[in-house]
Chain A
Amino acid sequence: QQQVKQSPQSLIVQKGGISIINCAYENTAFDYFPWYQQFPGKGPALLIAIRPDVSEKKEGRFTISFNKSAKQFSLHIMDSQPGDSATYFCAAKRSGGSNYKLTFGKGTLLTVNP
């Protein structure tokens, strides 16, 4: 049972374009949704995160859009740069009780061509 579904599996964007990665979740108890960026040979690094009480969060060129009713959230990378080429993971977490784990999507390999 895959609780967080991520698409697309891979994405190719031209420099300066907009990269969009989508995630859908099943567990309505999730209340924390981070995005991680992973470069080859490195561990995942937290990029940006959102809680369901807001519909959008922006940090620089990165924006999370959140649709609670559809149980979907997405990452938008504006003005994509070759240095953004990496694998991106969405994740979800449920707060409270004995819930400490992050549940990850399968990842999206982003390639930004110069």
Chain B
Amino acid sequence: DAGVTQSPTHLIKTRGQQVTLRCSPKSGHDTVSWYQQALGQGPQFIFQYYEEEERQRGNFPDRFSGHQFPNYSSELNVNALLLGDSALYLCASSFDGLAKNIQYFGAGTRLSVL
């Protein structure tokens, strides 16, 4: 049983560019959340997608946007990249039913903005 998979593993971009990160949830999961983890910090909630809609958003600017596809996979898009966007981006999946609190994380995408 594959867990949460994210791609790419690492990414290097330049200020002002745009980036797309991808996530495939754990089998049987229908909900995807995205988190940003800066070096030495805990993950910070960006947003969550369920039924192809964003249903909760954290304190992140509109430059951060996402999408969920009918197969439950998800993308995170960041526009106009800033140096401060350099971080590990984590995807977490869960099932919106019993035990909906349990979120399983992928290994993340390490984004470096130069």
Q: List residues of A whose CB falls within 8 A of some B CB.
A: 4, 6, 32, 34, 36, 41-46, 49, 89, 91, 93, 95, 98-107
CA distance A93 to B92 in the complex (A): 14
Beta-carbon contact of A44 and B33 below 8 Å? no
Which 9 A-B pairs rank lowest in CB-CB distance, beginning with the nearest? A104-B42, A43-B105, A101-B45, A43-B107, A100-B48, A44-B105, A100-B56, A32-B101, A106-B42
Q: List residues of B whose CB falls within 8 A of some A CB.
A: 4, 31, 33, 35, 40-45, 48, 50, 55-56, 58, 90, 92, 101-108
Beta-carbon contact of B108 and A99 below 8 Å? no
Distance between A90 CB and nearest chain B CB, rounded to angstroms: 9
A91: chain B residues at CB < 8 Å are 42
B40 interface neighbour in A46, A49, A101, A107, Cβ under 8 Å? A107
Distance between A99 CB and nearest chain B CB, rounded to angstroms: 7
Determine the residue in chain B with the shortest Cβ distance to A93.
B101
Beta-carbon contact of B4 and A43 below 8 Å? yes
Beta-carbon contact of A99 and B56 below 8 Å? yes
